[in-house]
Chain A
Amino acid sequence: MVELLPRLRRLGRVLARDGADADDLVQLTLERALARRAQWRPGTSLASWMFRIMKNAWIDESRSRTRRGGVFLPQEAGEGVGDTGAEALDARLALGEVERALARLPDEQRAAVALVLVEGLSYQEAAQVLEIPAGTLTSRLVRGRLALAAHLQETAA
């Protein structure tokens, strides 16, 4: 499991967008993997299994953040979504061009792009990690990468 840590941190970096949040996500993933280790089937990919746990932890985290935001920070509602949020994030993190473009993608497209382009999974593996049909994966990949290309051309122009 120690051997997988660098890859988990890398995937976490794309999903959570922020280094500190990414490591919190890795920690949550390790906690869950440890608690559910009996569910892993020997002979299957440990990396894919842990990526799936990370994906679910990330979705749960995002949901609870949205909930907290909705309850406690009504004036700021909406700030964390869309381009405004992405711009605030840019300023705070001084991300590179590619990271910035990726951070602007909707979560589900970013996850598909992360698994295929960053982690190098096959479409089949990525669809299994995300627990979605193959057709859904390819359509998210297509939309995500067309948007990515558009964002990057915008910055280049």
Chain B
Amino acid sequence: MTRDERLFAYVDGELDAADRAAFEAEMAADPQLAAEVALHQSLADRVSAAYAPVLDEPVPPRLVAMAATANDEASRGARLGLPAWAAMAACLVAGVLAGRLAWPQSGLLVSRGGDLVARGDLATALGAQLTAEPGVVRVGLTFRAADGRYCRTFHSARERLAGLACRQGDHWIAEVAMPFRPGPTPDYRTAASDTPPAVLATVDRLIAGAPLDAAQERAARDSGWR
């Protein structure tokens, strides 16, 4: 290994214990080397920090729908005894394309004509559940969009999905859907709720006025979200 290769291997944690100890001894005796290590350590941190926010951006629905379709095909393949794609599937959402509706699904979203439509537990929760009521899917907040539609945020720890859907006709159409990482991840434990920042940003974009209070929410539900 060249001097630089060793330096970067040290910064990247790629040296074994003996080589690491030897390298640290050299650093202690060579301030120039120690300074270079510090420079490249901070550079590595800057590079990783520069791209970290991408992880919290909303994923475009077309991509969610495609990956969801992959999961769907996966479970189908497994049932037919085809290669074990099922293990590969995260089984977060299962997309159903037209013509495959007969297949039993456990997914929360179905891709239909470019829209992500809520189904199963998600459709049930959005239609019937009040904010903070327990369930596989939990509803965060309910509000009216500027165009008059009722919209609701949701997340499901079990299905690892979070998002925001608005009522259109008899369906809830997801405006944003993204992987939900349950657990004490600081990014996701905002003061307000378990709602990911990208979903909150979508709320800000759509909301007209204040979120519904409990009485307004109940009234909206009881009148079928019209």
Interface residues, chain A, CB within 8 Å of chain B?
Answer: 1-7, 9-10, 13-14, 23, 26-27, 30-31, 33-34, 37-38, 40, 42, 46, 96, 98-99, 102, 113, 116-118, 120, 122-123, 138-139, 141-142, 145-146, 148-149, 152
24 A-B Cβ contacts within 8 A?
Answer: A1-B90, A2-B68, A2-B71, A2-B160, A5-B178, A9-B63, A10-B55, A23-B63, A33-B70, A34-B66, A34-B73, A37-B77, A37-B83, A38-B85, A46-B88, A96-B50, A123-B12, A138-B8, A141-B8, A142-B8, A148-B43, A148-B47, A149-B39, A152-B43
**Interface residue? B4 (CB, 8 A):** yes
Given A1-B89, A1-B90, A146-B4, answer yes or no on A6-B43 (Cβ-Cβ < 8 Å).
no
Given A1-B71, A117-B47, answer yes or no on A37-B88 (Cβ-Cβ < 8 Å).
yes
Cα-based distance from A86 to B66 in the complex (angstroms): 32
Is the CB–CB distance between A98 and B179 below 8 Å?
no
Contact of A98 among B46, B56, B68 (CB under 8 A): B46
Nearest residue in B to A148 (C-beta to C-beta)?
B43
Is the CB–CB distance between B43 and A1 below 8 Å?
no
Is the CB–CB distance between A120 and B47 below 8 Å?
no
- A interface majority secondary structure: helix
**Set of chain A residues within 8 Å of B161, measured between Cβ atoms:** 2
**Set of chain A residues within 8 Å of B39, measured between Cβ atoms:** 149
**Interface residue? B48 (CB, 8 A):** yes
Is the CB–CB distance between A149 and B4 below 8 Å?
no
Task: Tell me the B5-55 residues at the A interface (CB within 8 Å).
Answer: 5, 8-9, 12, 14, 39-40, 43-44, 46-48, 50-51, 54-55
Given A1-B67, A138-B5, answer yes or no on A10-B74 (Cβ-Cβ < 8 Å).
no
**Interface residue? B84 (CB, 8 A):** yes
